[in-house]
A and B are shown apart, each in its own frame.
Chain A
């Protein structure tokens, strides 16, 4: 087998100049066996299990990073949705469990821990309600805990009571983290068709169909795709798709190799590689930049949805050839605050919330890291969520909403979240009311697409 020096240099260039990295190695840990009616014992069990299983996660990941010279940005943990684990607890709120998770994450040195969540697409259990009501305080008093709630699936429809409740929860979470511009909301995702093996935060949780412990990997690489597309000389769209496919293949292989090596060293099952294009605030490491490289003057203009559809499809085709363990979200991310190109598009007035919503119908996630004015009504937030859930339900795909009503800020203001979360301009929402629609409650029945058997 031969490796050409040019191929070696191509890899080096991807790593050095184009920000190729492994975004996250996420260890999924099943907590079902920690269950206990006494919340103190439950907390102790959870702490012990996480710190035992993930004790060497950070060190192993760093060893693998040094071995291959490929940066691994985040190490994370996802756990079984806490509403399921704490089903038998008698306590009125579950904030203490979030604190335990935070403490355990701190002890093993990971960047985030996800799974403080519930699956309520068809209805609430008592524990689900307790958990959702605990979310604002849990996110305000912890640093690393992330929360997600699945409120819709293609098979079950949309639980509009949950959608209405979460509008209020999001407002409350923003209010409790007012000093940090509502950053609590950046750690809360509302899902339709949530994947059980997603390694990306804030939506990662360890599904109940998963094994006891598993390693999932999420790659990043918009910068590499961007550079590859820009290198083409006057290409047609078929050639662009072909180039993206090949590039996605290479990125995915890298992720698979790292994931398998980490899982081998830790003697844990290798779960999936999530081949999402996850942008970072670094210049060029941007999904919007890829769309603009295809010939759009600015991301968000007419043609953006088509270009994104091409990009997303080519990424999946290339990635699925590279690994037989593709899972998670797998597609292009378009988080506003984390993508310099998207921020610019919003600031220039090219990209609106409505266009962003259209884009989410052809790519992997939904309205991600969207900052809206602090005085946005809870019912309006719920309605934004409902729209996004409908797209997910009907198209049999995952969609999500991570929206931040920034307290005290209005359209034109700017919010700084820092780190990978970046910064975001506050976006305009439709001023007309959706209150009566959201107030009706109940469930939007599953669409006809659900009847596949």
Chain B
């Protein structure tokens, strides 16, 4: 766990934590005030939480959580302030469709093939549809975006879900000033 300038200290905010599964179910539905810090686990930068309302102040860190078990909802995506407009190479990948086995495996294998790093991942439902949202980072300078979009689209088609790869600014501009 790091706490340098890139990692913000966030103000306390309210977040719905649905389930946490790590070996055992830690709790049922929480409505907690949490203060988040960031930790890195297997290249997945996950927002983690410090529980305020529970008896003891828990900070869970240094956990080797396999990606498959990340079934809790990560509610916020973070940016560092120094990333100017249009200069970031981060993309929001949304996967929407009927839930079935192998969606995450299929999608992430394509991403691995294109050397696309997952910065953040979350899962929720929209109108009863399985919805996975990933914030991904592309480091290669000569990255072929259209080929990646096509491969992701084809994989989505195979899995029966709709996959969109959009630059993060599409969301940042609409919802933030």
Contact = CB atoms under 8 A, between A and B. Distances in A.
A8 to B, nearest CB: 5
B133 interface: yes
B86 interface: yes
A264 B76 CA distance: 30
Contact of A3 (B96, B131, B176): B176
Question: Which of A6, A7, A12, A250 has the most CB atoms of chain B within a 10 A radius of its CB?
Answer: A12
B75 A4 contact: yes
Interface in B119-168: 122, 124, 126, 131, 133, 145-146, 149, 162, 164-168
A70 B176 contact: no
Interface string A261-273: 1001000000000
B54 to A, nearest CB: 23
Contacts of A69: 164-167, 170
Interface stretch (B17-25, B62-70, B77-85): B77-85
A4 B126 contact: no
B170 A13 contact: no
B122 A5 contact: yes
A254 B172 CA distance: 10
B165 A7 contact: no
Interface in A1-51: 1-13, 16
A264 B176 contact: no
B126 A9 contact: yes
A264 B84 CA distance: 14
Given A69-B165, A69-B170, A254-B173, A12 B94 contact: yes
Given A8-B94, A68-B166, A68-B169, A250 B174 contact: yes
Interface in A39-66: 66
A28 to B, nearest CB: 23
Contacts, number: 83
B171 interface: yes
A253 interface: yes
A12 B172 contact: no
A232 interface: no
Given A66-B145, A67-B145, A7 B171 contact: yes
Interface residues of B, number: 33
Given A9-B131, A66-B149, A2 B174 contact: no
Contact of B146 (A3, A5, A66): A66
Contacts of B175: 3-4, 7, 10-11, 250
A18 to B, nearest CB: 13
B76 A4 contact: yes
Contacts of B78: 1-2
Q: How large is the interface on A (under 10, 10 to 19, 20 to 34, 35 or more residues)?
A: 20 to 34
A1 B170 contact: no
B34 interface: no
A256 interface: yes
Interface in B79-124: 79, 81, 86, 92, 94, 96, 122, 124
Interface string A255-296: 011000100100000000000000000000000000000000
Nearest to A257: B173
B110 to A, nearest CB: 17
Contacts of A11: 170-171, 174-175
B112 to A, nearest CB: 22
Interface string A235-262: 0000000000000001001101100010
Contact of A257 (B73, B96, B169): B169
A1 B172 contact: yes
A401 B12 CA distance: 56
Nearest to B132: A5
A3 B74 CA distance: 11
A1 B76 contact: no
A248 to B, nearest CB: 12
Nearest to B166: A69
A4 B175 CA distance: 9
A35 B73 CA distance: 64
Enumerate the 5 nearest inter-chain pairs by beta-carbon distance, A residue then B residue, closest first.
A69-B166, A68-B170, A257-B173, A1-B79, A7-B175
Interface of B: 73, 75-79, 81, 86, 92, 94, 96, 122, 124, 126, 131, 133, 145-146, 149, 162, 164-176
18 contacts: A1-B81, A3-B77, A3-B171, A3-B175, A4-B77, A5-B73, A5-B133, A7-B171, A9-B133, A11-B171, A12-B94, A67-B166, A68-B166, A68-B170, A69-B164, A253-B174, A254-B173, A256-B173
Given A8-B133, A257-B170, 7 more contacts: A1-B172, A2-B76, A3-B175, A8-B94, A9-B131, A69-B165, A254-B173
